[in-house]
Chain A
Amino acid sequence: EAGVVQSPRYKIIEKKQPVAFWCNPISGHNTLYWYLQNLGQGPELLIRYENEEAVDDSQLPKDRFSAERLKGVDSTLKIQPAELGDSAVYLCASSLRSGSLTDTQYFGPGTRLTVL
């Protein structure tokens, strides 16, 4: 079974430029998460989708960040414009059942963003 797929793995951009990350969750997984991980820290949730619906986006900086999950499968996370402080690893994760607190989250390899 394929795991969570993310692309690109690495991205280097100039500040004020836009950037987009793509995630393909494990087949059949209804819940998708985007996390931000700063160096030496644990992941912090940005947004959670249950199928197509964003059910928790309270930590998403909506002035520059946006996300979508069309058709309830793949998802994209966008930053426009990027700032120096956005340099981090962006992780995507998925879990099987909607609304389950006990399901395991499976993580992709992440996209390491460097903003110059």
Chain B
Amino acid sequence: AQSVAQPEDQVNVAEGNPLTVKCTYSVSGNPYLFWYVQYPNRGLQFLLKYITGDNLVKGSYGFEAEFNKSQTSFHLKKPSALVSDSALYFCAVRWETDSWGKFQFGAGTQVVVTP
């Protein structure tokens, strides 16, 4: 079955340090990969996506993500975290083989950036 995993429930990082949020997915044809961020009492905001081409994708607010086909991963990164990056982050995947194109979301990773 197709699945998405975010292995860390929470990531703690000091402001100014690099931030990484991990995402892995099951292999089932070509994946289309997305990252979203959710602030309290808000909907999900789109950060970036990988469809094809360059494995390194740059998105909003200084975030980037690297698609690694051999490791079936799509980790989200930011070189220097801000306190305002504290939020809930979701990885989502669609598979080319899924005719319905249903998004599978990970369980989410809470990011806490301390001053």
Contacts and interface: CB of A to CB of B under 8 A. Distances in A.
Interface of A: 4, 6, 40-45, 48, 55-56, 91, 93, 99-102, 104-110, 112
Interface string B6-34: 00000000000000000000000000101
Contacts of B100: 48, 55-56
B37 to A, nearest CB: 11
B25 to A, nearest CB: 13
10 contacts: A6-B43, A40-B107, A43-B44, A48-B102, A56-B100, A100-B101, A101-B96, A102-B49, A107-B45, A109-B43
Contacts of A107: 36, 43-45
Contacts of A45: 102-103
A4 B45 CA distance: 11
Given A43-B44, A109-B43, A102 B51 contact: yes
A42 B45 contact: no
Given A107-B43, A107-B45, A42 B105 contact: yes
Given A55-B100, A110-B42, 17 more contacts: A4-B43, A40-B108, A41-B107, A42-B90, A42-B92, A42-B108, A43-B90, A44-B105, A48-B102, A102-B94, A104-B46, A105-B46, A107-B43, A107-B44, A109-B42, A109-B43, A110-B43
Interface of B: 32, 34, 36, 41-46, 49, 51, 90, 92, 94, 96, 98, 100-103, 105-108
Contacts, number: 57
State the 9 A-B residue pairs at the shortest beta-carbon distance, nearest first: A42-B105, A107-B43, A107-B44, A101-B101, A109-B43, A102-B51, A56-B100, A101-B94, A108-B43
B101 A99 contact: yes
